[in-house]
């Protein structure tokens, strides 16, 4: 079990989240930089550091943070998702797909895994594979949420004309 952040670290994390929500990643990063080093590897801190780096499109930094998340907290899906997304943004989409697929065995109920795999397959030109992943998602709960996301996702643009049929 992951211990929750304790004050003052929990307050600093909340402040950093607030700064990021306000569109000020520099202040968010400064807030996190003030944390006691004992909290640096906490999943909430790693997650927010990833969000800050992603906001700035620092994908190499994102990849390092996500890889750390996977190594330190393999029981949480976020690290796997962020690692693959970072790889995808670095134009390493085949690697992103290959590293994300095994996460399905660990987190079978995480729909975002299937959605991201559909995006990666589509970008790699494997439209049948992308259709299969999307069809799987569209048969599950929250299908309308995923359909709406797919209709505007540039990674799935090749499938936009047929999304209503999946």
pLDDT of residue 96: 98
Whole-model pTM? 0.93
**Cβ contacts of 9 within 8 Å, gap of 6 or more:** 35, 36, 39, 42
Q: Per-residue pLDDT tens, the chain, 166 aa: give them.
A: 788 888 988 899 999 999 999 999 999 999 999 998 989 999 999 999 999 999 999 999 999 999 999 999 999 999 999 999 999 999 999 999 999 999 999 999 999 999 999 999 999 999 999 999 999 999 887 889 999 999 999 999 999 999 888 8
| Spacing of C-alpha 27 from chain mean position | 22
SS3 content of the chain, % helix, strand, coil (to 5): 75, 0, 25
pLDDT of residue 166: 80
| Spacing of C-alpha 131 from chain mean position | 21
């Amino acid at each position: 079990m992951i211990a929750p952040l304790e004050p003052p670290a929990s307050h600093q994390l909340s402040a950093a989240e607030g700064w990021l929500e306000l569109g000020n990643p520099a202040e968010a990063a400064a807030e996190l930089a003030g944390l006691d080093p004992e909290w640096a590897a906490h999943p909430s801190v790693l997650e927010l550091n990833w969000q800050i780096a992603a906001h700035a499109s620092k994908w190499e930094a994102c990849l390092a943070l996500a890889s750390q998340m996977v190594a330190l907290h393999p029981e949480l899906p976020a690290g796997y998702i962020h690692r693959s997304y970072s790889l995808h943004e670095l134009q390493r989409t085949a690697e992103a797909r290959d590293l994300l697929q095994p996460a399905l065995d660990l987190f079978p109920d995480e729909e975002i895994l299937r959605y991201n795999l559909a995006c990666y397959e589509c970008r790699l030109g494997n439209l049948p594979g992308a259709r299969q992943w999307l069809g799987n998602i569209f048969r599950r709960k929250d299908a309308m949420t995923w359909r709406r996301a797919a209709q505007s996702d540039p990674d799935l643009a090749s499938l936009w004309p047929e999304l209503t049929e999946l």
